[in-house]
């Protein structure tokens, strides 16, 4: 069956098996998908396997995976060391109702990797990490309101969603101060007017939904300085950007937040999130303390995720980070030379500008490249210079 986009007339090709799966999916899931971020109109293909930097869909079409599940799979698909760690862990028990050594080991590794993580807790997603970091900031400061930057994505938690989003209570708009990202004047006006009401400022140093343009060092230092002076906690969302340096992207800015939110790469491809920072702030979650913030999550810190995550992070050393950042820089520069507008830093790239990203997505898919529907691309350690050569050939 050949499918065609009604709005552009772009022929997306023949996907007989995927079309059948999509029809079945429509019977049991709204829109035929389990999460909105992976839907591509008029209907998505379905993947069935992945090895290294390649994936294969249900119709036998093979692709170089530059999406890597939205920057999660930093070592590509089915890396032997991660598979071994996960299968070994599940053989001992998939989850328990008491702590295990595996969550201690990953917490220790992350603490050494990023010293600002004096204490941390695990969750099942980056969204949950942001939720709990904000709750912790409120408990610590005794303040209810917080500031976020317009257009930045911090998960599907109601409080961090955009004003007017369907299903988001209008009442939340009174709790959240939203200002344009990167605009010092607007930020200072908001801080001057509401600083004594704010528990925290939530910030991404290179927000994907805002075009993946890195923040300026001056703006980051301004935010850090103003929050410190006013007793406002700074929460840096590193769910996507933690891959960019040994201690996260904050290391590149020489900034130490009060709390950091993590996810994606730290789980080795399994559901994960983490939040942590100053020990005195994180003490609000200590169940030994009277009036501690309740932090649950039946599967948080489960040993399969923790074991896979530790294996993943141990392999992600500074040499590998430097290598894949170099591959990303090369791809970004050569795509720009071909006339594309591309933002990002290191192993994270995004095609932006005056371009129909859906048409681009399908054209690249047919040529054997998988990117995110918004133009996001992520380099994995499974890739090398030869793979980048192939990507460039297929982009043209």
Query: Could you give the 3-state DSSP secondary structure of residue 17?
Result: helix
CA torsion sign for 161, 163, 165, 170 is positive
In terms of residue numbers, what domain contains 328?
A: 2-74+317-395
Q: How far is CA 115 from the centre of its chain?
A: 21
Identify whether residues 292 and 161 lie together within a single domain. yes
Query: Could you give the 3-state DSSP secondary structure of residue 56?
Result: strand
Last residue of a domain, one of 281, 315, 349: 315
CB 157 within 8 A of CB 187: no
Identify whether residues 138 and 234 lie together within a single domain. yes
Identify whether residues 228 and 101 lie together within a single domain. yes
Bridge-partner residues for 262, per DSSP?
274
Q: Which of 124, 140, 115 lies closest to 234 in space, CA to CA?
A: 140
Identify whether residues 152 and 234 lie together within a single domain. yes
Report the alpha-carbon distance of residue 363 to residue 93 in Å, rounded. 44
Identify whether residues 43 and 181 lie together within a single domain. no
CB 248 within 8 A of CB 216: no
Identify whether residues 204 and 343 lie together within a single domain. no
> 3-state secondary structure string, 353-385?
CCCCHHHHHHHHHHHCEECCCCCEEECCCCCCH
Active site residues: 153, 237, 264
Last residue of a domain, one of 315, 331, 352: 315
CATH number of the domain where residue 134 is located:
3.40.640.10
| pLDDT given for residue 165 in this prediction | 86
| pLDDT given for residue 1 in this prediction | 45
Identify whether residues 218 and 294 lie together within a single domain. yes
Please state, as a whole number, how many other Cβ atoms lie within 10 Å of the Cβ of residue 36. 10
Q: Give per-10-residue mean pLDDT for the chain (396 aa).
A: 50 68 91 88 92 95 97 98 98 96 98 95 97 98 96 90 87 91 97 96 96 97 98 98 97 96 98 98 96 94 97 98 98 97 98 93 95 97 98 95
Identify whether residues 127 and 185 lie together within a single domain. yes
| pLDDT given for residue 11 in this prediction | 61
Report the alpha-carbon distance of residue 23 to residue 31 in Å, rounded. 10
Helix (H) / strand (E) element for 235: namely strand 233-237
| pLDDT given for residue 10 in this prediction | 54
| pLDDT given for residue 388 in this prediction | 98
Identify whether residues 221 and 88 lie together within a single domain. yes
CB 152 within 8 A of CB 300: no
Query: Could you give the 3-state DSSP secondary structure of residue 177?
Result: strand
- Taking every pair of Cα atoms in the chain, the longest distance, rounded to a whole number of angstroms, is 63
| Helical spans, DSSP H, in 32-78 | 68-71
| pLDDT given for residue 2 in this prediction | 47
Report the alpha-carbon distance of residue 343 to residue 366 in Å, rounded. 24
Cis peptide before 42 (omega within 30 of 0): yes
Identify whether residues 238 and 307 lie together within a single domain. yes
Instruction: Indicate the pairing of strand 47-51 with strand 54-57.
Output: antiparallel
| pLDDT given for residue 16 in this prediction | 63
Identify whether residues 182 and 264 lie together within a single domain. yes
Q: Which of 392, 311, 307 lies closest to 80 in space, CA to CA?
A: 311
Q: At what angle do helices 318-337 and 385-395 cross, to 10 degrees?
A: 20
Instruction: Indicate the pairing of strand 369-370 with strand 62-65.
Output: parallel
Identify whether residues 173 and 322 lie together within a single domain. no
Helix (H) / strand (E) element for 13: namely strand 11-14
Last residue of a domain, one of 315, 342, 369: 315
CATH number of the domain where residue 26 is located:
3.90.1150.10
Q: What is the 3-state composition of the chain as percent helix, strand, coil, each rounded to the nearest 5? A: 45, 20, 40
Edge-to-edge strands, sheet with 348-352: 341-345, 348-352, 376-378
> Residue 76: left (phi > 0), alpha (psi -120 to 50), or beta?
left
Looking at the structure of the chain, the number of domains it has is 2
Q: Which residues contact 181 (CB under 8 A, 6 or more apart)?
A: 149, 150, 151, 152, 207, 210, 215
């Amino acid at each position: 069956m050949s499918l065609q986009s009604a709005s552009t007339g772009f022929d997306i090709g023949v996907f007989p098996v995927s079309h059948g799966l999509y029809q079945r999916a429509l019977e049991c899931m709204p829109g035929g998908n389990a999460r909105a971020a992976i839907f591509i109109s008029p209907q998505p293909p379905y993947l069935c396997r992945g090895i290294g930097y390649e994936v294969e869909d249900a119709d036998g079409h093979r692709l170089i995976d530059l999406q890597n599940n939205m920057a999660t799979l930093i070592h590509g698909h089915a890396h032997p060391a991660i598979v071994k760690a996960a299968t070994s862990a599940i053989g001992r028990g998939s989850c328990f109702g008491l702590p295990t050594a595996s969550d201690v080991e990953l917490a220790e590794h992350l603490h050494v990797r990023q010293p600002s993580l004096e204490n941390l807790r695990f969750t099942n997603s980056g969204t949950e990490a942001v939720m709990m970091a904000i709750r912790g900031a409120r408990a610590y400061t005794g303040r209810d309101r917080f500031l976020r930057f317009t257009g930045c994505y911090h998960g599907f938690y109601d409080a961090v969603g955009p004003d007017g989003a369907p299903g988001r209570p209008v009442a939340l708009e009174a709790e959240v101060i939203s200002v344009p990202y990167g605009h010092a004047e607007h930020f200072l006006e908001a801080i001057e007017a509401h600083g004594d009401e704010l528990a925290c400022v939530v910030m991404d140093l290179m927000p994907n939904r805002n075009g993946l343009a890195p923040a300026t060092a001056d703006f980051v230092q301004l935010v850090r300085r103003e929050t410190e002076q006013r007793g406002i906690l700074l929460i840096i969302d590193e769910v996507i950007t933690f891959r960019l340096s040994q201690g996260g992207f904050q290391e590149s800015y020489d900034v130490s937040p009060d709390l950091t939110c993590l996810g994606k790469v730290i789980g080795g491809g399994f559901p994960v999130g983490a939040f942590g920072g100053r020990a005195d702030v994180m003490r609000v979650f200590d169940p030994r303390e009277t009036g501690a913030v309740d932090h649950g999550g039946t599967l948080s810190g489960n040993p399969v995720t923790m074991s896979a995550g530790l294996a993943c992070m141990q392999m992600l050393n500074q040499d590998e980070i430097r290598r894949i950042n170099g591959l990303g820089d090369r791809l970004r520069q050569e795509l720009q030379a071909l006339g594309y507008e591309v933002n990002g830093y290191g192993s994270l790239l995004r095609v932006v500008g005056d371009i129909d990203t859906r048409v681009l997505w399908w054209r690249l898919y047919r040529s054997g490249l998988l990117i995110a529907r918004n133009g996001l691309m992520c380099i994995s350690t499974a890739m090398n210079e030869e793979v980048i050569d192939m990507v460039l050939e297929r982009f043209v």
